[in-house]
Amino acid sequence: MSAKLTILGFNSAIPTVNSSPTAQLLEMGERLFLIDCGEGTQVQMRRAKAKFSKINHIFISHLHGDHCFGLPGLISSFRLLGRETPLHIYGPKGIKEMLETIFRLSETNKGFELVYHELTSKKSELIFEDNKVEVFTIPLDHRIYCNGYLFKEKPKDRHLNMQEIVKYPEIETCDYHLLKKGKDFVLSDGFVLKNENLTKDPNPSVSYAFCSDTRYNESIIPIIEGVDVLYHEATFLHELKEMADFTGHTTALEAATIAQKAKVGKLILGHFSNRYLDVSVFKKEAEPIFAPTYLPKVLEVVTI
Residues tagged active-site: 66
Whether 136 and 125 have beta carbons less than 8 Å apart is answered as yes
The partner residues of 229 in beta bridges, in order of sequence, read 208, 266
CB atoms within 10 A of CB 188: 6
Sign of CA dihedral 89, 66, 297, 235: negative
Whether 60 and 67 have beta carbons less than 8 Å apart is answered as yes
